[in-house]
C-alpha cells in the first residue's frame, strides 16, 4: 500500500497585481508544515508540484525545513497538470460574458468592484465568484482562450493516473498543488458530482494536507482531508 499526499500551497497575495506569490503568512505556513513532517521523520519517495510560483515556492520551503533537519528531500518535479484552473481567465474573460447576459451577476460584480479596496473585499468577491464558478462548471458560460472545466478536470485526472501508475512497490508521494486541483482529485476519487469539487474548494485551507491510500493496480481511497496539524487556529487561512 502506498500513500499520496496533496498539499495546498501557502497563502498567496490575493487581490494584488502579482497574486502568484506567497504572502509572509503563506511562507510561514509552508515552513511549519515541513518542520512538522521533519520532526515526525516522514520520508518521501517522490515530490511533485505544479508550475505556478506559489506551488513551487511552497514545495521549496517544505524542503528547506527538511534540509535544516539534515533529512533528505527529493527535488520537486514540476508538472503543469497540477496547476490550478485558470481563475484569472475565468474572471477577466468569462465573467464579462456572464455579466452581459445576467443582470443579477452584473450587480454582484459591481458590488465587488466598489468594495475591492475595503476590509470586506473577500466577502463581496466570494458572492460574485461562487455564482460565476457554478455557471462555468456546468458549461453554461465560457470564453475563447479560457480552459473549460471539463479540460481542467481531465488534466487533473491524467496527473492522478500518472502518479498512481508509477514505479512499483511501496511509495510515499507528495504533491504540492492548489485548492481547485485538490478538490477535483477528491471529487473524482469519491465519485461525487462535479459540483462537489466547487463546494470542497471553498473549504480547503492553505498548506492543508489531504491523503489517499493507493495500490500499484490503481485502486485509491481517501484517507484524510484538509488537515492542518502544523498550524495554530489563528494561522489558518483560506485564500
**DSSP string covering 108-167, please?**
HHHHHHHHTTSTTHHHHHHHHHHHHHHHHHTTS---TTS--HHHHHHHHHHHHHHHHTSS
Q: Could you give the maximum distance between any two Cα atoms of the chain, in Å?
A: 58
* pLDDT exceeds cutoff 90 at 85: yes
Output the pLDDT for position 116: 85
> Chain-wide mean pLDDT for the chain?
93
Q: Does 2-85+147-235 carry CATH code 3.40.50.1240?
A: yes
User: What CA–CA distance (Å, rounded) separates 140 from 132?
Assistant: 10
Whole-number Cα distances in Å, 32 to 4, 51, 64, 153 = 20, 22, 10, 30
Output the pLDDT for position 90: 94
pTM (2 decimals)? 0.91
* pLDDT exceeds cutoff 80 at 143: yes
Residue boundaries of the structural domains of the chain? 2-85+147-235, 87-137
pLDDT tens for 154-206 read 999 999 999 998 777 899 999 999 999 999 999 999 999 988 998 999 899 99
* pLDDT exceeds cutoff 80 at 66: yes
pLDDT tens for 28-37 read 999 999 999 9
Grid cell at residue 85: 484552473
Output the pLDDT for position 206: 98
**Sorting pLDDT into bands at 50, 70 and 90, what band is 218?**
confident
Grid cell at residue 77: 518535479
* pLDDT exceeds cutoff 90 at 13: no
User: What CA–CA distance (Å, rounded) separates 39 from 34?
Assistant: 9
Amino acid at each position: 500500500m502506498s500513500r499520496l499526499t496533496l498539499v495546498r500551497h501557502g497563502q498567496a497575495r490575493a487581490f494584488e497585481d502579482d497574486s502568484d506569490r506567497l504572502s509572509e503568512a503563506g511562507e510561514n505556513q509552508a515552513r511549519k508544515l515541513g518542520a512538522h513532517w521533519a520532526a515526525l521523520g516522514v520520508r518521501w519517495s517522490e515530490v511533485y508540484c505544479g508550475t505556478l510560483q506559489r506551488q513551487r515556492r511552497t514545495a521549496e520551503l517544505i524542503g528547506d525545513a527538511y534540509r535544516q533537519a539534515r533529512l533528505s528531500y527529493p527535488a520537486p518535479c514540476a508538472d503543469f497538470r497540477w496547476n490550478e484552473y485558470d481563475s484569472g481567465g475565468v474572471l477577466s474573460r468569462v465573467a464579462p460574458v456572464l455579466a452581459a447576459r445576467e443582470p443579477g451577476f452584473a450587480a454582484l460584480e459591481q458590488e465587488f468592484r466598489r468594495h475591492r479596496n475595503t476590509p470586506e473585499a473577500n466577502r463581496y468577491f466570494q458572492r460574485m465568484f461562487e455564482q460565476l464558478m457554478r455557471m462555468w462548471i456546468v458549461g453554461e458560460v465560457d470564453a475563447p482562450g479560457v480552459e473549460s472545466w471539463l479540460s481542467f478536470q481531465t488534466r487533473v485526472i491524467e496527473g492522478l493516473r500518472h502518479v498512481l501508475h508509477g514505479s512499483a512497490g511501496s511509495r510515499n508521494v507528495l504533491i504540492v498543488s492548489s485548492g481547485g486541483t485538490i478538490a477535483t482529485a477528491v471529487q473524482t476519487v469519491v465519485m461525487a458530482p462535479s459540483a462537489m469539487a466547487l463546494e470542497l474548494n471553498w473549504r480547503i485551507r492553505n498548506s492543508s494536507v489531504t491523503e489517499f491510500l493507493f495500490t500499484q493496480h490503481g485502486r485509491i481511497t481517501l484517507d484524510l482531508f484538509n488537515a492542518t496539524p502544523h498550524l495554530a487556529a489563528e494561522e489558518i487561512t483560506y485564500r
